[in-house]
Structures are given as structure tokens and as C-alpha cells.
Amino acid sequence: MARKKESEKSTRASAAEQKVMGLRPETREQPITETLETNFMPYAMSVIVSRAIPEIDGFKPSHRKLLYTMYKMGLLSGGRTKSANIVGQTMRLNPHGDAAIYDTMVRLSQGYEALLTPFVDSKGNFGKVYSRDMAYAAPRYTEAKLSPICAELFRDIDKDAVDMPDNYDGTMKEPALLPTSFPNVLVSSNLGIAVGMASNICGFNLTEVCETAIALLRDPEHDILSTLPGPDFSTGGNILVEPDTLREIYRTGRGSIKIRARYRYVPKENIIEIYEIPYTTAVEIIIDKVAELVKAGKLKEINDMRDETDRNGLKLALDLKRGTDPDKLMQKLFRMTPLQDSFGCNFNILIDGYPRVCGVGEIFTEWNRWREECIRRRVRFDLGKKQEKLHLLYGLREILLDIDRAISIIRETEMEDEVVPNLMAGFGIDEIQADYVAEIRLRNINREYILNRLKECESLEKDIADLEDILQKPKRVQKIIISELEAVIKKYPSPRKSLLLYDFAEDDGGSEDESDAYAVSLFLSREGYFKKITPQSLRMSSEQRYKENDGPMQRFETDSNAEMLIFTDRQQVYKCRASDFADTKASVLGTYLPTALKMDEGESVVSLVLPGDYSGSVLFFFQNGKCARVPLSAYATKTNRKRLTAAYSDASPLMRVLSLGEERDIAAFSNDGRALVFNSALLTDKPTRNTQGVQLLSITGKRSLSGAEFLADTAIRSDRDYRARTLPKAGAILKDIDRGEEQLNLLESEQKDS
């Protein structure tokens, strides 16, 4: 052993010397299994057992430490105190930061509304569980105390009902569990994410849980669904669930339930008021999603959405367009927004220190077993106290039968230390009894006192016999639990907040949206006539009809929900969707856009652009030889605006508009027969819509830019002679072989001659 210790000292000294000298100490290879066992597994078990997973009392350690601290501070019956004071005191049990402790208090508070049965009576701004952005006030501003129902959590805590281990530094005791007199593990919703496992327990109604616990104690074969019809959430809402699905969740502890918002329609104002939302979402998430759908054109029935939440509670107001069916719109919103959401149940709790996924029936069984043990421990504590007192009274009774002799012994004893031994020897009692007798005051040695003590002995004997009988008869323990549960039901009435809908097949999801996307072809003529034609219609008849002197300008293959940007010659852009126009045929003229979009008098269409997700750019080619590259995001708006002004520069007439998704080669043409080929990468995005752009063509004399196209769409066969590496350039005269229109004219004349 001595040699081994010397070897270890030598090794430590060698490592220290190497560290001082700047040398790296020798390392040894460690198997991954050993690393997991010595490093990872203790951490994982600590998170599972001591942090994330609730125990049979329904609390995590952080909840339990906070509530016990408040109990010891006298906040069960006293007035409120500053939350900062509570947080500071809790740090004696919970060695975490004050922010984490305060977060725990907020979640347990009445003001936050996360729990059906809150345990903290709060005053001040504690935020709301249904709001993502409504922040709670700092702990120096808020006040709190324990809610009255916490008396059911600490009823037997001073009677050895639960274990009281040392806190983290051994300076005080704390409860391992709270002896809750009702199954709080099912009443309080809980979410915990540990290492390799998680827990997600939905809340149930307090009254229904207590009634179910009573029924199971009386009849273990009781049908749980008859008294516990389903979960209950603090934010209310409608729960959509089939009875068979609930039975499976109750049996396995796993499953999913749907929660739907509740609403009312106000005909006078033509608005929908949403006043309860799913527990799993927040008002800001709902508003953001609705705004996104309105912007995408998938919700045309809504004019505006407002958050009108106030001191009276949550309220989201939807302004409807005239003629909108509110019920049909809500069915659509349930499908497309978090106004209908799912809650995934995972009833994973700690049973005797081990995590276990339990069904509802199993949780009741485990809670009953644990609660029976709490009752027995409380009875044993009361029994011990009464037995101790009866033992003292038995000794007193022996003395009181011959009080004169006792007085004589005490009077004749010379030393004070010999009084107790002399009484023990004179009456045959033990030291505890003799010491108790010796402390009796002289004024109490009277007939009344003697008779009362003798009667008290009889009462204690009956009480002790009753307590011993309770310990011997499990049925009596169960009766005590039932009586306490009945008292909870009577003292803390809990009306249900969530409405259960078992038969919801007819309105679950509703019919498909009429504006669901389908493939279409879009056509725009030079005069501004627009057509939306389905592929089936095009296959039947593809010959397009146009007015005299009109013809095709643009064609797109897209879907019926595509968003469109209509640029006009007045530097304006109109935003609409293909779904705003009815399907038509190639044989009709189509919809005249200036009229349909209510354009200004004399205003005409220049180009149609499909922005998609607004990730590309728009190229504007002006007569003065300049080109402006504007990101499509400059035309994206958060509100549902139909028209944007100053869509492009008015410094020079607009000659061509091209929509650019990725970098491509472009050919620009001048009125004197020149062409300039360049890559769009030479142009950079400008942040403002009405930018004048950069000089593309060198303009001299009467030369001007006459048009532009993507190189692939032109007749240019070889772009080498027209290619520009830098801008601006004058361009090169088009060769005959690259003049698409001259070749076409030549072909047509040859056909006539033949």
C-alpha cells in the first residue's frame, strides 16, 4: 500500500512538473463505453431524476423547492411579499439562477394562467401563457403568496408523511415529495425534456380527477372514461377526440388529441371574435399565420385581424368581407392555421425514482398506493405522539393516587438531582415519567386536575386503539383518502373550461378550399387583355383570339394561386392573383386588365411578372440606355395592398421589363440596329424601386435603346461579336444571320412566290 501511494504521488508530481515546463502530460486511451458510463450516464440520470420528469406528486424538483420555501415563509396564510424576496429565499434549496426560479414561479402563478389549479396567488404582471410577446414584469415589481389550495399540498408535511432529506449543502431539510391530498400529477399539466426521453402530461379537471380517484378506490374495475371524460386546459377551447382514442390514451399513456379555438360571430359588426385558443399555441403565432395566408391570397374573406386582448381576457377580432360565411371561414382557418392544433400526450413520470410511461389507470393506482403510505406515516406519527403522552399520564396517575407520599419524597430529598431517582424508586415509574411529574406546578395538584388527567388517559387509550385499527385495516385508510378527496371537491369547485366534442366528423376539416392550386396557362396581350386557361381547355382549342391590331405579349405556365405583378406605363404596379380571375378559353378576348384592376384613366399595361417567393429581381430597360435591377423583395408588402406607386423610375420611357430568377445572358437592342450581349451579373440590385439604374448602352446622337430579351429567346446565333465584359458599351451592328425578323420576312416572300 505504501509503495502504491508513493507511485501515485510520483505520477501526480510528474504531471505537475510537465505542466510547469509547458509539456503535455501523457494521456491514455479510454474506451467509449467507459466514457459513457463514468461521464454521460450520471449526467443523464441527474436530468431525468432531478430536473425534467415530474414525480407522483405532480411536481418537478424546482416546483417543489419553490412551494416549500413559500410555505416556510408563512405565505400560506399571511399576506403577499415581493417575488424577489421569494426567489432569494428559494436559492437556499435550489442552487440555480434567480431567473430560472422566477420562471418557475411565473408558470405556477394565477396570473400566467398555465395551470387549471394555480398554486401561486399573484399580483402584478405575470404575462400570459397564450401570448408569446407579453413579457412578465421583473420580480421586484410583482408580489405573490400561496393559493388556498396549497393547504392540500402541505396538510401532513409536519407529521412525517414524506421523507425530509438534506438540501444541497446540508444546512436544512426539504421534502422529497409533497403529500398532496389529491392526484395533482393529473391535474397540473407538465412538459419536461430530459436526456433520451420526455414527458408531456395534459391537465385534467380537478373535480373530475377527484371523483375518478374516489370511484377507483371503491371499485377498481370502474370505467375511468365515465367520470374522467377527457382533458381540460386552462386556455379552454374545444377538444376533438373519439372515445376510443381517449380509451387508448388512458390505457397506454400515449396519443394525440386535437384542440380547436372557440369563437362567436357578431352579425351587427360582421366580425368573428375568437376568445379561446389551443393550449399549444399563442396569439402572435396565429396572427402571423393568418397574415401570411392573406398575403398569399388564400384567405380572401378577411379584411383585417386585430388582437383586442384586454383585462377581460383574450380576444382576436376578424373583420370579414361582405357575404362571407363565418362558419365556413372558421373551418378553413382550422385547417390552415394553429387555431386547431394537436397535443401529444406522453404520461412519463417518476415512480419510486424510475421513469415510467403510465396509463391514466396506472397513475391512479400508483397515486393511491403512495397516498396510502402517506396516510399510514401520518397515523404512525400521531400514534407515537399519543403513546408518548399516555405514557407520561400513566406515570402521573401513579403519583396522583398517593400525592401526599409524593410530596413527602420531594420535601425530604436533600439534593435537586435526587428528586427524579427518588420518585422512580418510590412509585416504580421510569425516568421520563418521573421527570414529567417533578415539573408539575404545585397549583395543579388539586382534585379537578387529577380527575381531568384520569379522563384524558381514557380518551388517549381510545384514540390509540382507533389509530392502531386504522393501520391494521387498509379499507379504513382508503376511507380517509376518500373523505379528503370529497373535501377537496367541496372546498375547491372547479368548473370545466374545455368543451369536449366527441362527434365532430362532419365539421372536422370541412370541404376542400375552392381556391386549391391547379395548373393553368396565363396569357397577356399587347393591349392588356388577360386570359387564364387550364391545360384541358388548351388541348381542346389552342388558337388564341385577339382584337384587331392586338397580339400576344407574354405567356406563363404556373398554378391558379400564383401572385402577379402588373406593371403599367404610369410607374405603378398592381398586385393580384391568378385566382382573382375566372378560367376562360382561348377563343375569347379575355379580361381587360385596366378595367378589372381599376387603373387610372389612360393607364395601360407594360408587363406581367410572377414574383413567386420574391427571391429574384426585375430588370427595367429604359429608352436612354439605362437598366435598373430591382430586387423583387422591394415589392413584397406585409399588408394586403393592391397598388404600389413609384414602381420604377420615370426619368426615361420604359422599353422592356424582364423577370430574373438566376443570372442569365441578355441581349439589348438599339434603334440603329445594334446589339449588346452581357451577363446579368454585371448589374447589381438597387435598394429603391425608382432607381434610374446604370448606363447599359452608350447613347450618342439619336441612338436609343429599343428593347431587350434573354439571349436564348433571340435569333442571335453567335454572341461573340456582341459580347461586353464591362458596361457601358455601344454594341455592334447586327449581322444578317442574326436578324430574326429579316429572315422571317424573307421566308414569307419566298412562300408567296411559290
The sign of the torsion formed by the CA atoms of 323, 328, 330, 332 equals negative
Query: Nearest 5°: phi and psi at 21?
Result: -80, -5
| Full 3-state SS string of 599-637 | CCCCCCEEEEECCCCCCCEEEEEECCCEEEEEEHHHHCC
Name the residue with cell 440606355: 625
Q: Determine the Cα–Cα distance for residues 434 and 410; give it in Å rounded to an integer.
A: 11
- 43 as an active site residue: the answer is no
From 141, 168, 354, 614, the catalytic residue: 141
663: left (phi over 0), alpha (psi -120 to 50) or beta: beta
Residues 6+ apart with CB under 8 A from 230: 239, 241, 246, 257, 498, 500
CA-to-CA distance for 47 and 66, rounded, in angstroms? 18
Q: Give the angle subtended at the CA of 584 by the CAs of 582 and 586, to the nearest 5°.
A: 155
Residue with cell 443570372: 663
Q: Where are the alpha helices (DSSP H) in 222-359?
A: 224-227, 243-252, 283-295, 326-336
62, amino acid identity: S
Q: Give the Å distances, CA to CA, from 414 to 4, 192, 399, 418, 717.
A: 65, 70, 20, 8, 134
Distance between CA 145 and CA 160 in Å, rounded?
24
Contacts of 112 (CB under 8 A, 6+ apart): 106, 118, 122, 126, 127, 128, 129, 136
DSSP assignment, residue 735?
P
Beta-bridged to residue 605, according to DSSP, are 568
Three-class SS of residue 144?
A: strand
Q: Which three cell numbers stand for residue 563?
A: 401572385
Closest CA to 478 of 618, 590, 374: 374
What is the side-by-side strand order in the sheet with 694-695? 654-660, 617-622, 626-631, 694-695
Cα separation, 246 vs 23, in Å, equals 65
- CB atoms < 10 A from the CB of 567, how many? 22
Single-letter amino acid, residue 522? L
Alpha-carbon torsion angle 733, 739, 741, 744, nearest 10: 150
Q: Are 572 and 603 in contact (CB under 8 A)?
A: yes
**Residue 105 CA: distances (Å) to CA of 63, 100, 200:** 8, 9, 19
Cβ pair 628, 651 in contact under 8 A: no
SS3 132: coil
Q: Is 67 helix (H, G, I), strand (E, B) or coil?
A: helix
The SS3 call for residue 239 is strand
CB distance 579 to 563 below 8 Å? no
Residues taking part in catalysis:
141
